[in-house]
Chain A
Amino acid sequence: MTVAADLADERLVRSRGARGALDVVWNRLRGGDLGSLPVVVGLIVICTVFYSLDPRFLSSFSMVNILTYAAPVGIIALGIVLVLLLGEIDLSVGSVSGMAAAIMAVLVVKEGQPAFVGLLAGIAVGAVVGIAYAFLYTVLGIPSFVFSLGGLLGFQGVLLYVLGSDGTINLPDGSGLTEFARFSFVSGAAAYVGVAIVVALYVASRLWTIRQRRAADLSAPSLLGVGLKALALAAGLGWLTWYLGVDRGWSYSFLLFAALVVVMDLALRRTRWGRHVFAVGGNEEAARRSGVKVTRIYVSVFVLTSTLAALGGLLAAGQQTSVSQATGTTDTNLTAIAAAVIGGTSLFGGRGSAYAAMLGIIVLQAIQSGLNIVGVDSSVRFMVTGGVLLLAVAIDSVARRARSASGRG
């Protein structure tokens, strides 16, 4: 029997069949490579606890709400994942989201500009903030913690200034943004067709990989494994589509968020840019000496983070149908950062994935929604969120120690 080129070394522990696959997973976990396991376990615990307190927590209505209202802060958290991958931080994403929303609202409602001008202006504001941050970081060498703390205060000031004395701007009834963010859903046949397309794309990409690797005489994933995963994906998404469809279905907000996550995941794992982001986060000096254009990576990441924050702010404004002095303040910042960390993005740089933002924000949104249904005061919500964040960081730190003990970086 011929052995694939990458499995020829006799020191490699062979892992074949279902038993082998389980062994691989177990060894990864023992080595501190937890991936998204803690979040999934956490989510199951949360669901069990709240379901036993009040069964309405897992109703279709409640689940549609969780996914819909997770989207805006989730998009902001996606940007946070990017800066965390570089080992940097952006504390001002909440303020940037509020400022972008306020500028959009003023342009559209007070100045009477067309909606798309307002939206573009809001997103452009985010991009400009990112460029300014990149300048402060790469040219002046100011730590990201400091300038984004300045941004946190400064842009909240801009929000108050732009809103002026009124304090609150209501978006007009039936405006496109509100319709999209709050009242648009996909269910029924269209949703099932979407699920079928997603599963087909997954299978096609896996089959293509298998063919490529076999042609190159490298080990390839087994067809059975791909088939089982595709089946699980189809069953999971199909069941969710059915269950959410009992109520309103998949919201456009969440689908936008999910699409951004999938595209970002692809960009991070499969493009040169993403590879360089991980390299800079892992060892900046090594990346620079290898010819990675480190400055460009920082600029692109700061711009993407602020732009995603602005986009999240616009979506949040659409869902709340108004922009007020409190938009994007209070807990938006920390919820977004907590979501990225809870989802499994390391605070130490170079480790994490786009899906961390989605898992993390669903956990936090589920906690918030559960506490609301149970009827607990928001003071308790802050305490619980803080506790969960602490737990997530503790898991990250312990896993990091296990990784360095078992040679997984």
Chain B
Amino acid sequence: MELSKSTRAATGTALSLRGVSKRFGAVQALSAIDLDVAKGEVVALVGDNGAGKSTLVKIISGVYQPDDGTMTLDGREVVVGGPRQAQKLGIATVFQDLALCDNLDVVANLFLGRERTAGGLLLDEVHMEQEAWRLLRRLSAKIPSVRIPIAALSGGQRQTVAIARSLVGDPGIVILDEPTAALGVAQTAEVLSLVGRLRETGLGVILVSHNMADVLAVADRIEVLRLGRNAARFDAADVTTEQLVAAITGAGERSAPSTTVPSDSPAGARP
């Protein structure tokens, strides 16, 4: 698997969060989170359970509204009012449980909610099928037929369909929530190379994962969350698994009070 890690020059910031906070009752789920994603960059979001990864993803994808903080998309400050609006703004999310309809075929799933019609009433199946093949080829995806129900596909193929679907609306940012959870070795490799191809097409990719090997294999930068705060920030090229684990668990905190390792990313400056 040949991945052009960190050799690509970022061509501008796709998404940037500043001071995002979210509180659920007595629980401060996120406090003053900063996050930057450049075009053509894969940013991994790691952290232990309850670190706030899911909350942050849901805020970006419009499921939750932040209590505080700003979100900038392509240099414009935006407020994401809901999932549909996030889609319109070009933020696509692939959820962990995939959210595919097992009883529908690949084409129907790819275009669900965005069906093309001919003459406004009847579905334009031919056009959609053509478009589906174009999309899957762009990802070099190995799907034997787009007219078989999702139930007949393997886990990796389903993940591929889910990722391909996120590209139908031509987004600028793709959020992948645990894309390799519950996948076999070969399928994981397939999905990771898919993530690489997303980067090559100039998308900003946010990858949420528990798997350090996956993160190190495909990410350009790694953002560590712990207890709802930015705990550390690494360049994937010069970090070890041990350093990552230490940052996630907070193990090194007592010996070295500042675990925040500023990287050379544009997010280096905190407000």
Contact = CB atoms under 8 A, between A and B. Distances in A.
B121 interface: yes
Interface stretch (A146-154, A225-233, A236-244, A283-291): A283-291
Interface string A130-152: 00000000000000000000000
A117 B98 CA distance: 51
A22 interface: no
B56 interface: no
B100 A283 contact: yes
B99 A283 contact: yes
Given A5-B133, A407-B152, A286 B114 contact: no
Contact of A290 (B112, B122, B126, B153): B112
Interface in A1-52: 5-6, 9, 11-12
Contacts of A286: 98-101, 112
A408 B152 contact: yes
Contacts of B98: 286
B103 A12 contact: no
B79 interface: no
A279 interface: yes
Contacts of A409: 102-103, 149-152
B64 interface: no
Contacts of B149: 407-409
Nearest to B153: A407
Nearest to B127: A216
A401 interface: no
Contact of A278 (B104, B113, B153): B104
B130 A292 contact: no
Contact of B103 (A6, A213, A351, A407): A351
Contacts of A213: 126
Interface string B159-170: 000000100000
Contact of B101 (A5, A209, A272, A279): A279
Interface in B3-36: none
Contacts of B147: 6
Contacts of A282: 101-104
Nearest to B137: A5
Contacts of B122: 270-271
A25 to B, nearest CB: 16
A234 to B, nearest CB: 25
Interface residues of B, number: 37
Contacts of B84: 291
Interface residues of A, number: 36
Contacts of B101: 278-279, 282-283, 286-287, 350
A229 B10 CA distance: 58
Interface in A280-307: 281-283, 285-287, 289-292
B104 A212 contact: no
A287 B112 contact: yes
Contact of B102 (A12, A212, A218, A283): A283
A251 B248 CA distance: 75
A275 B101 CA distance: 11
Contacts of A278: 101, 103-104, 108
Contacts of A209: 126
B205 to A, nearest CB: 19
Contacts of A350: 101-103
A403 interface: yes
Given A5-B133, A218-B130, A409-B149, A12 B123 contact: no
Interface of A: 5-6, 9, 11-12, 209, 212-213, 216-218, 270-272, 275-276, 278-279, 281-283, 285-287, 289-292, 350-351, 403-404, 406-409
24 contacts: A5-B130, A6-B129, A6-B133, A6-B146, A11-B144, A209-B126, A216-B126, A216-B127, A217-B130, A270-B123, A275-B123, A279-B108, A282-B102, A282-B104, A286-B99, A286-B100, A287-B101, A289-B95, A290-B99, A291-B112, A292-B112, A407-B149, A409-B102, A409-B150
Given A216-B126, A275-B112, 19 more contacts: A9-B143, A9-B145, A11-B144, A12-B144, A218-B126, A218-B129, A272-B117, A275-B104, A275-B108, A282-B101, A282-B103, A283-B99, A283-B100, A289-B83, A289-B95, A290-B113, A291-B112, A351-B103, A407-B149
Interface of B: 83-84, 87, 95, 98-104, 108, 112-115, 117, 121-123, 126-127, 129-130, 133, 142-147, 149-153, 165
Report the 3 A-B pairs with minimum CB-CB distance, sorted nearest first.
A409-B151, A291-B113, A290-B113
